[in-house]
Chains A and B, each alone.
Chain A
């Protein structure tokens, strides 16, 4: 059973914690040993956040090593770029084409890199970069806040696992009244990721 290391990067409030729980639970259902690491508190107030999720035969550390991430899931473009050092030549970056300008950019004191600059940066380690309009897909499915679940849908094509496993995990982890909408968002992401 080959290990799979994931890093989920986003902005506090974007739902990285829920997405990492879904991803970790799906791995457990597929028979992997699983660990996750995340940070709560201060960072949640609109700051950079990252969650580590690791699948493997036997996982010791909950933290992914630099240069060892198999998948980087960027909920926001700049945040994906921030975690470059975790990538290697086999890594796949799945990136939401979505900008949340940080305070310095809002104030006009720094510039937000272009899509091309971010892509070049992420490809400089030799891996592949897949773009997805996850926030738009989520909005079509009912709420733009579900972009993380859309990204997981696209990711599910790459890491395997029966569709039903993912849908059941979403059902278990999402509040009852949002289950249908999130399952719809997941499937829409799964379709969009196939393009």
Chain B
């Protein structure tokens, strides 16, 4: 039966049908739906771990136990999990371990565009890259077989355009995973599983021998293949870029690499011998290009195709035309020259009713130095709120604020971190601030969910990924347990309360925590009667517009409220200096 599914869904389905029974991940665009989909299958255990390293350890543990496992992450999540990935390459496993990792070229929703193919070489772990959903499903099965044959974790690399693209997959509606009883028994093996230096020294040659064997495998696997065409141009490509290049160069000979590490040297030489010129088309780093150059093959690559940003068929075509590889095509003929009108940009904004808006309005007013973190509240850096000074990676806010304090910034420093991000990697720096006699204030922007990625549960929500009720970590008791004595909880959209608490914390000399708690407006869907603006009283001063709430619109003589969009949170009522905005009686 033909079905249209995303690469993320196809990977999860392929893993399930291959007998994977344990999955762990932390949500991260564009990888999130892999674990969400996997969690929906019967008889599996799937969990949101607090971060990617924990997820990786859980996956490795399940594979040690003899059960096939899936770990999924976005590209930067593999940085967090790298320590665990590297030991697992040495220990090997006891059942298949599939790591699905999604890069984000173009940074649709990320802080960098690192090319995680480099991890394959760095960690000495095989990596596959599907080019559509059908391959994502098939590669899952292949990767798990490979993982068990060679006793190694296997990474399947996605990019946004394979994770979030849908394509047609032939699905057998009666297909079932193999029965659960086939688990390989676990036994204690100190030399393999205890990576003390003496054992690790014995394991390293095993890793090198394994990579050599995988290099041989790469020569013969159908994952890599030469697709014959004319001999003018031979194109080396993988993944989504292979599909773009196929359209731009329909006649060329292709070396299609489904396995991006280790690379098949004999096959590459054979391919290069067949064509007049070799073109390497790859997004981000010159990963294939450098390898081909090491083999002494002349290639055209990053001299023509950019090292930054996301590719598309248009980009490849334009770059090829510019380099004289393709003939110039007539520009799309315009009937008339395009009129010059400006199209105002539309960046993402905080939702109406969002608690982060009250928090940032007060922080901006206080004029303190605010270190931010990763989540919806990163939008607090943008106009008109303009309260954040920094955003680096998950969990960085608290440590950076403490470092800036010790580095001599005289102002009181504030870190803003979301609840899910705090559980991810904010707990250690929070303890560090106490331990090392810091005096920064940490604001936990607690919307009681993982907002930006689409409302996933975490240790503070009381539910698991598979919707089972569970223990709910109490943030206030937790930080008091660490030793914080100055801890307050309030709704940041009650601005007077929040302002008083913030002033009190900034006056103190000790490290402190404010839990700014207001459930995510998209999730609570709280809708009260929108406030009313009295046009007689409105002085058109623009103060309310400075909170950046989209239902508030500048009209000719005064501001008006788009009632369909307004949640009635009343934040604008609190900031209006003229008393022109009032709550309707409900």
Contacts and interface: CB of A to CB of B under 8 A. Distances in A.
B335 A125 contact: yes
Contacts of B341: 81, 113, 117-118, 121
B348 interface: yes
A62 B167 contact: yes
Interface string A74-102: 00001101101001110000000000011
A41 B108 contact: yes
A126 B331 CA distance: 13
Contact of A65 (B108, B317, B350): B317
User: Would you call the interface of chain B mostly helix, strand, loop, or mixed?
Assistant: loop
B44 interface: no
B577 interface: no
A102 B383 CA distance: 12
Contacts of B384: 103, 107
B344 A105 contact: yes
A66 B2 CA distance: 29
B168 interface: yes
A45 B338 contact: no
Contacts of A41: 29-30, 108-109, 452-454
A163 interface: no
B166 A35 contact: yes
A104 B554 CA distance: 10
B348 A124 contact: no
B246 interface: yes
B349 interface: yes
Nearest to B546: A107
B167 A79 contact: no
B348 A45 contact: yes
B4 A124 contact: no
Interface in A150-179: none
Contact of B346 (A44, A48, A66, A107): A48
A28 B334 contact: no
A194 interface: no
B338 A121 contact: yes
B160 interface: yes
A100 B341 CA distance: 17
Interface in A1-47: 11-12, 21, 24-25, 28, 33-47
Nearest to A124: B338
Nearest to B106: A39
Nearest to B553: A106
Contacts of B436: none
B2 A125 contact: no
A24 B6 CA distance: 12
Contacts of B550: 46, 103, 106
A108 to B, nearest CB: 4
B335 A78 contact: no
Interface of B: 2, 4, 29-30, 32, 108-109, 132, 160-161, 164-168, 240, 243-244, 246-247, 312-314, 317, 332-339, 341-351, 376, 379, 383-384, 452-454, 542, 545, 548, 550, 552-554, 564
The 10 closest A-B pairs by CB, nearest first: A41-B29, A41-B109, A126-B335, A47-B348, A67-B332, A45-B348, A62-B165, A108-B554, A42-B109, A110-B344
